[in-house]
Structure 1
Amino acid sequence: MKIVSDLDLTPYNSYRIPAICKRAFFPESEAEIQQIFQEYPETKKIIIGSGHNIIFSRDRYEDDFIIFSGNFEKVVCEDDKISAESGVSMLDLSNIALSYSLSGLELFYDIPSSLGGAIVMNAGASGEDIQSLLLTVRYYDPQADVFKEVERKGLDFEYRNSFFQQNPHLIITHAFLQLRHGDKQEIGDKMENNKKLRWAKQPKEFPNAGSVFKRPKGHFVGVMMEEMGLKGYTIGGARISEKHGGFIVNFDNATGKDILEIITLVKKRVLETYSLDIEVEQRII
């Protein structure tokens, strides 16, 4: 298992915010995950996957990071089912499904997330989400020092929420998904179309971490930002995207503090204007 001291976390978060952690582990098996907690119990552990949907609030962490990026990404296909480790990216998983002519993951092509991260936040778009494809999820509970496998119905999925968000100490290791056989050309065309639509609407040209806020019932965040005149609003190197007001981008060496200050301002303005306490979708670390 790779262990790195004073790791530069800049490449491990999609905002490209500079930060350093005291020590980082890159496990490649369940046994190594367990080993981390057994051999290094004294330090708080922070779990990250592909580094999307997170905001670093500090420039240095005296915590241990357990990172699932470029590791823990084995995938096995059997008929119309997939068993996958949590570190695999949704991009790679979608492409693997395509290679087996399996449909169901087209929506997640080009969604920036690891499988584990997608499950934690119940990622999705256009009324669909990851939980609808899940059969079971396997995870490690470091407090009890046990691995458990739970069916979808036991994981309390809601819009951009799950059992794992309520229990952040749990570590997803594997997921088992039910897909369906389809036409390879049609699946590939749908994937490419989804990608084109995202690139047309989202600020892919700048580092960002996707939608900053959960969509409040009856409203669209991007529309609210436009109505309040906040598109393009800037603090330091961070800016509310002019392309899509639901995104904050790092256009000029932004810090986590810059991004969090914009979030604070947006929450205040939305409360004043719409009487809504808008919820942050991204995980602040």
Structure 2
Amino acid sequence: MKFYNHFDLTSFNSYRIKAKCNRAIFFDCEEEIQEYYQKNKDTKNVLLGSGHNIILAKEYYTEDFIIFNSNFNKINLTEAGLLEIEAGAMMWDAAQFALDHELSGLEVFWDIPSSLGGAVVMNAGASGEEIKDVLVKVRYLDLTDNTIKEILKDDISFEYRNSFFQKNTDKIVLKAWLQLKKGNKEIISEKMETIKAQRWAKQPKEFPNGGSVFKRPEGYYVGAIMDELGLKAYAIGGAKISEKHGGFIINYNNATGQDILDIITEVKKQVWKKYQIDLEVEQRVI
């Protein structure tokens, strides 16, 4: 377990928003996590995974930040043939591990910036594939009684970019087991690289961003809506809607979290005015 006071969060959020927290904590094992929550029941804290899909709205946080990033990240293949992954492991590392063992099912995650914990909480995925498709069970810490429990996939109530864990923030994902299929290494690798190339061609990878800002409304595409409203390149402060893909907001000039939130507010207002659609924000505002 490592503690850092007045910790700089700039490198721990993909928008690269400049922010600090009173204290950051990095755990190495389940026992440390359980012990911390037992001793700090009344301490306010924020759980942070890879730092993607979030918006830091403040410049300074008085809360502890519990960070799973380059720690608590072991990936193993069990005797039963399941992939056992700790919450802090990046999904692209899990995809690489699967490739090395000639296992198919995680190719779509090769270029999705998410930790395992974050992927489970928001049911991450792309191109019609989601983490729930390969998930078997999840191990988690239940803060209501500070005990470690396990839950099967069918009981997690997965929805589009949503799950039991997103609705119950007093449950902390510790580990998950995935069931993959044996495959051909060359075919798996080819699919991974094809998916990556397609994403890089469409997404503004050259600027810091947090991924898709809004959930896709039924019957519409957010990028097309931005085109129709002429909102591409719309900017406030150092943030703007990407010219490359209207579903992304980029930090092109030292943006603050408030710059991003102000753009979101304006987009939601204009979309509602023209389409009567209440766009739902996919990213977590902290």
TM-score of Structure 1 vs Structure 2, range by shorter chain: over 0.9
- Indicate the residue corresponding to 1:37 in structure 2: 37
Q: Per-residue displacement from partner, 1:38-93 (whole Å, max 9, x unpaired)?
A: 22233211101100000001111110110000101111113642011011001100
Q: Per-residue displacement from partner, 1:138-188 (whole Å, max 9, x unpaired)?
A: 110122111110000110100011011101222100000000000001101
- Indicate the residue corresponding to 2:181 in structure 1: 180
Alpha-carbon offset, residue 258 of structure 1:
0.2
1:3 aligns with 2:3: yes
Q: Per-residue displacement from partner, 1:107-148 (whole Å, max 9, x unpaired)?
A: 010101001101111111111111111000011012211111
Alignment of 1:66-81 (within 5 A): 66-78=66-78, 80-81=81-82
* Alignment check: 8 A CA contact 1:80 1:102 kept: no
Distance in structure 1 (CA, Å) of the matches to 2:60 and 2:29:
27
* Alignment check: 8 A CA contact 1:212 1:248 kept: yes
Distance in structure 1 (CA, Å) of the matches to 2:171 and 2:274:
38
1:255 aligns with 2:256: yes
Amino acid paired to 1:169 = D
Distance in structure 1 (CA, Å) of the matches to 2:128 and 2:76:
28
- Indicate the residue corresponding to 1:229 in structure 2: 230
Distance in structure 2 (CA, Å) of the matches to 1:169 and 1:71:
21
Classify the secondary structure of the residue corresponding to 1:38: helix
Identity %: 56
Distance in structure 1 (CA, Å) of the matches to 2:185 and 2:127:
22
Distance in structure 2 (CA, Å) of the matches to 1:21 and 1:43:
14
- Indicate the residue corresponding to 2:247 in structure 1: 246
Classify the secondary structure of the residue corresponding to 1:156: coil
Alignment of 1:103-118 (within 5 A): 103-118=104-119
Distance in structure 2 (CA, Å) of the matches to 1:150 and 1:73:
20
- Indicate the residue corresponding to 2:15 in structure 1: 15
- Indicate the residue corresponding to 2:281 in structure 1: 280
* Alignment check: 8 A CA contact 1:80 1:180 kept: no
Distance in structure 1 (CA, Å) of the matches to 2:63 and 2:239:
26
* Alignment check: 8 A CA contact 1:80 1:181 kept: no
Taking structure 2 as the reference length, what is the TM-score of the superposition?
A: 0.98
* Alignment check: 8 A CA contact 1:141 1:170 kept: yes
Q: Per-residue displacement from partner, 1:233-259 (whole Å, max 9, x unpaired)?
A: 000000100000000000010000000
Amino acid paired to 1:224 = I
Taking structure 1 as the reference length, what is the TM-score of the superposition?
A: 0.98
- Indicate the residue corresponding to 1:28 in structure 2: 28
- Indicate the residue corresponding to 1:54 in structure 2: 54
Distance in structure 2 (CA, Å) of the matches to 1:273 and 1:144:
48
Q: Per-residue displacement from partner, 1:205-255 (whole Å, max 9, x unpaired)?
A: 000010000000000000000000000000000010000000000001000
- Indicate the residue corresponding to 2:132 in structure 1: 131
Classify the secondary structure of the residue corresponding to 2:210: coil
CA RMSD of aligned residues (A): 0.8
- Indicate the residue corresponding to 2:143 in structure 1: 142
Q: Point out where structure 2 has 5 or more consecutive residues left out of the alignment.
A: none
Say how many residue pairs are matched.
Answer: 285
Distance in structure 2 (CA, Å) of the matches to 1:56 and 1:74:
27
Distance in structure 2 (CA, Å) of the matches to 1:254 and 1:91:
27
Amino acid paired to 2:96 = N
Amino acid paired to 2:25 = F
Distance in structure 2 (CA, Å) of the matches to 1:206 and 1:227:
23
Distance in structure 1 (CA, Å) of the matches to 2:219 and 2:117:
29
Runs of 4+ in 1 over 6 A off after TM superposition: none
Q: After superposing the two structures, state which structure 1 stretch, 94-103 or 126-135, moved more.
A: 126-135
Amino acid paired to 1:5 = N
Distance in structure 2 (CA, Å) of the matches to 1:106 and 1:49:
21
